[in-house]
Structure 1
């Protein structure tokens, strides 16, 4: 395998756009970490035209997946947690080429998990939790039990990720293994929802109640970034202005729901502005209490 890696690096090193190369060996026969390939090669490239591409090939009976990605996309995926295997690749992968010490720096920052990144990930996870939680609540009232179950299971997963992030740790692929030691209470709720002998409706109602008392109390903590943006100037903010703000771009679609709940919880307040006196159009803007 080492000889194969050396040959692959020798080929890719000639491309000046290639910033770094990371290799991940398949840890087991049935592992999905490398999508079933013997070797995953992650190529970080500064040239946008070459990124977001994948190649599958065989070399010396070794099945290889080669994935090209840009530094900006890599940072975005780490922030959003869209590719759960990515943290594993960065922390456990073998660095084969590293111009400007890019990957070493990224690995260090990932392990460090700085406060600013934690706050941003908390806001993203809470916005996702809130959507799933409220949809489950609506479905259970309408007696759509299976839809309510599916949504509350997703909400519980986001709750687990919030707890892990609060502990200063990156959520991994195996979130429930992580949460079992970090917060046994949340893990117990997961067991109650999935394994209890109660009716499905009763299980959903139990977790909804737990969410109402436990996670909703985290709203101010998880929305700290949003509240800080609102407090950054004296004038109230329109929804459009907030949606254009760089710090809130990752929750752009969830902002209306978040703002509404923050107002109802008296964590922020609405200010009414007259847009057009002739037709009595009033605009809602938002500011801190």
Structure 2
């Protein structure tokens, strides 16, 4: 396998558009890591000309999957929620790295700096809030299986929040990771999935735990948003916040999150004269 990787690296070295290559082996036949292929090759490119190009082939009886991703997109994805990309970067072998950019990214992921942790906490809390509130709504409407599915998603977000707070990247197999890190959260997962109580009772139990434990983390998890609101004297409009580059990953969740922060008195809602003739007052937000 090593000689094959060296051959492929030599081929990619002849392509000036390929900046770096990560080779991820699958020796234990774990399909979740390499999508079932013997070898996954992640090609980092300068241009977007063949962005996200996918190529499957066989070489020396090895089934290979080749994926291309522009460098800028890779950097943005690592800030977001691409756990697969993080796993490939951490577990794969860098076989080509012309400018050392991939090694820099790997070191950044390994160090998990505070800025990256804060960003990921905000992402997970937004997902948690959406799933948690939807579960409550479904429960009230007696849509029990939908309520169960959403609270399970919310509980997974809670587990990832705990892992991030501990300074680790959430893995794909999050429950294996959380089992010994936080037995309390894992116990809730067991109660939800294996308890002999009714589905409704199990959902109610986890909703109650979420209300007391995770909702209390709102100020902590929303640090990047609160810092932006506090960063200037005049209040921000919803449109301005949606356009802020640091909030690009949560654009769709901002209205819900802002409303919840107002209700918890963590931010203030201010009515100002609107520039539009169609509106009398515009709602803006400030710390």
Shorter-chain TM range is: over 0.9
Local SS of the residue matching 1:170: coil
Give the CA deviation at 1:50: 2.3
| CA displacement 1:219-240 (0-9 Å, x = unmatched) | 0000011111111111011111
Structure 1 residue 87, shift from structure 2 partner: 1.7
Distance (Å, rounded) in 2 between the aligned partners of 1:137 and 1:89: 36
RMSD, aligned CA? 1.5
Q: Deviations over 1:127-163 (max 9, x none)?
A: 0110000000000011100000010000111111111
TM-score by length of 2: 0.97
Distance 1:172 1:278 in 2: 50
Aligned-pair distance for 1:248? Answer: 1.1
Write the distance in 1 (CA, Å) between the matches of 2:274 and 2:39.
59
For residues 32-85 of structure 1, the C-alpha deviation after alignment (integer angstroms, 9 at most, x for no partner) is 211111111111110210221110000111111111111122122222223x32
Change (3 A) 1:282 1:61: same
Per the alignment, residue 29 of structure 1 pairs with: 29
Taking the TM superposition and a 5 Å limit, the aligned residue runs for 1:101-180 are: 101-180=100-179
Q: CA offsets, 1:226-262, max 9 Å, x none?
A: 1111111110111111111111111111111001000
**Map of 2:271 onto structure 1:** 272
1:60 corresponds to 2:43: no
Structure 2 CA distance for partners of 1:176 and 1:275, relative to 1, 3 Å: same
- How far apart, CA to CA, are the structure 2 residues paired with 1:13 and 1:156? 45
Alpha-carbon distance in structure 2 between the residues aligned to 1:47 and 1:87: 21
Which residue of structure 2 lines up, in the alignment, with residue 92 of structure 1? 91
Match of 2:181 in 1: 182
In structure 1, list runs of 5 or more residues that go unmatched. none
Per-residue deviation, 1:280: 6.8
- Give the unaligned 5+ runs of structure 2: none
TM-score, normalised via structure 1 length: 0.96
